[in-house]
Chain A
């Protein structure tokens, strides 16, 4: 069931219940009041009749007459009062009964109570009011006057009123229901907009936002919803960017794997099936070895790159940059000397929180890159400023349009050349990852023919 229908229905039901109970209470009260009034007026009439009868009986010429005469006189007097509602009782015996009813017990002492007694009885479809009173004669005779009155009319009136009231109530409830339904629907309209927005988003329209112009709680929810949608959209965009990057990397990876494998398969195939000269056979073996070590390098670099995705393998500690630079210089010394290059280290940086192994491998990677680009006799500089560590070379440089791409995995500016130098196009991608893990970024400046400077820049 829809929320607005639920709300409207509950409201209508509560409203109906409230009105019905109020109506019922009011009608019941009215009934009681009317009953009371009828009984009161009955009592008054009864008592005045009783007085009048007493006067009549006292002043009347009854004394000394026989009982039969007395009875006919009383009958006469009663008829004179002209009412057919009275029963006169003397000492438990009915003297005269003008009503169509018979008293069950004429000697009932209730009728002779002080101030009279009255009761309402229901006989079949008839309501009757029975009241009784002692006739106040001065000689304390034991006359009792009982009045029996049909008051069904009163109840019929009440019933009519009730039916009328119910009709009014039904009409009012109908109008109220329609109004409540319309209003609830209107109040909940922003909720429908919210739901539509959510549906649209779930169907892929990530740019969809909920437009709620009210100033109530729904608007608050809508704002929160829009913030959430914003967040989801940016996350999804980021995710698809990352997965696109991964896909490209995987593509490059298969290509990178295929090239050495083509060589290995081709050369071994040649050795197996083709009759080639002895020196060519040796070349083929050499190539197979060379390509295998290329695969080996590729796999260890890849392992590094994969390992960096698991952040828990990183242990950050305060390390003096000077010591770290020194260690890196020691590591690279022999390697560079062999190629006839020198490394110049200047450090003005204090301590920093880094992962020793990763940061060393970052610097070594950058220096190796510099060495690959340099010629014999060139210098490579490892320098530091406030929040920036720079590795600079005087090598061949990177063409401007390629600078943006060199950090992509497997991207090589000069494939043939970097292959010869043992590169596989993962070094800078690895450096970017390591820098990112330290909260730093990589900046590359380069001019063709003049050299390249790669800086690791810390945010502070």
Chain B
């Protein structure tokens, strides 16, 4: 089942932008354009205990600060009651509102305009920190078990080296989003790794061979690599 993400943003264009990217990356966005509507929804899920009703609660909320009805800071209490971590998305680029937002209990604070990859990475970090990361990632016939650190294709285990595994998880975690070689180097080999971007190419080659992902992991010219999987 896909991870649900609440998107509370009044600008329809930005809301659609976020939803589009979340969908592509394998999340299920739930958009709200009004603070009061979001509040009503949050009240419902905190009353109904959705887990028992077989409905999965949203794992995270992306919230604009300036909202009609009830603003993002005011909504914080409702999110906390519903037990949903919050990342604020806002055009207000001043330290005071950042401090205010983070003090109020937000997990992160992203200033508009933002890059898609940055948003996805920060979301992933928050999900991991709050123990809401996905347990299993399914890409076509390949299953990644994040708890077991194991990968299987059609039910058969595929032996991956640790770095190859990390590379796969990174690409699959933000599927359909392109990573540059430098980014991958930074994230997997670490910022202090002094190596050539060729290293990434070698590992990608290994992944493609081991998983039969020649078409799934695409080379994007001038950018890097992207794991493509659209339903």
Task: List chain A residues, Cβ under 8 A from B16.
Answer: 283, 287
Closest to B111 in A: A258
A35 within 8 A of B: no
A181–B116 Cα gap in the complex (Å)?
83
Interface 9-residue window, one of B49-57, B133-141, B222-230: B222-230
Given A259-B112, A273-B223, A275-B226, A287 contacting B11 (CB threshold 8 A): no
CA distance A419 to B10 in the complex (A): 10
Instruction: Please name all residues of chain A whose beta carbon is closer than 8 Å to the beta carbon of B68 when the two chains form the complex.
Output: 414-416
The complex places the Cα of A416 from the Cα of B64 at a distance, in Å, of: 14
User: Which B residues are closer than 8 A to A by beta carbons?
Assistant: 10-14, 16-18, 20-21, 23-25, 33-34, 66, 68, 91-92, 112-117, 176-178, 218, 220, 223, 226, 228, 230
Please, which residues of chain A bring their CB within 8 A of the CB of B116? 266, 269-270, 273-274
- Cβ-neighbour of B33 out of A258, A262, A291, A416 (below 8 A): A416
In the complex, A14 has a CB within 8 A of chain B: no
CB contacts (< 8 Å) of B10 on chain A: these are 415-416
Instruction: Please determine whether A263 and B24 come into contact, CB atoms closer than 8 angstroms.
Output: no
Tell whether, in the assembled complex, residue A269 and residue B115 are in contact, meaning their CB atoms are under 8 Å apart.
Answer: yes
Do A287 and B13 touch across chains, with their CB atoms under 8 A apart?
Answer: yes
Q: Is the CB of A272 within 8 A of B223?
A: yes
Provide a sorted-by-A list of 9 A–B residue pairs whose CB atoms are within 8 angstroms: A259-B14, A266-B17, A273-B223, A274-B176, A274-B226, A276-B24, A280-B20, A415-B10, A416-B12
Q: How many residues of A contact B (CB 8 A)?
A: 30
CB contact under 8 A between A266 and B24, given known A273-B220, A291-B13, A416-B10: no
The number of residue pairs between A and B whose CB atoms lie closer than 8 Å in the complex comes to: 99
Which B residues touch A267, using CB under 8 A? 17
Q: Which residues from B are CB-within-8-Å of A254?
A: 91
Q: Kindly name the residue among A260, A261, A262, A283 whose own CB sees the greatest number of chain B CB atoms within 10 A.
A: A262
Q: Which chain B residues lie closer than 8 Å to A265 at the CB level? A: 113, 115
From A263, A274, A291, A419, name the one whose CB has the most chain B CB atoms within 10 angstroms.
A274
Contacts of B23 in A (CB 8 A): 276, 280
Distance (whole angstroms) from the CB of B154 to the closest CB of chain A:
24
Q: In whole angstroms, what is the CA distance A263 to B230 when docked? A: 23
**A273 pairs with B113, CB closer than 8 A:** no
B33 contacts across to A, CB distance below 8 A = 416
A408 at the interface (CB under 8 A from B): no
Q: Considering the complex, which residues of chain A in the window 247-299 have a beta carbon less than 8 Å from any beta carbon of chain B?
A: 254-255, 258-263, 265-267, 269-270, 272-277, 280, 283-284, 287, 290-291
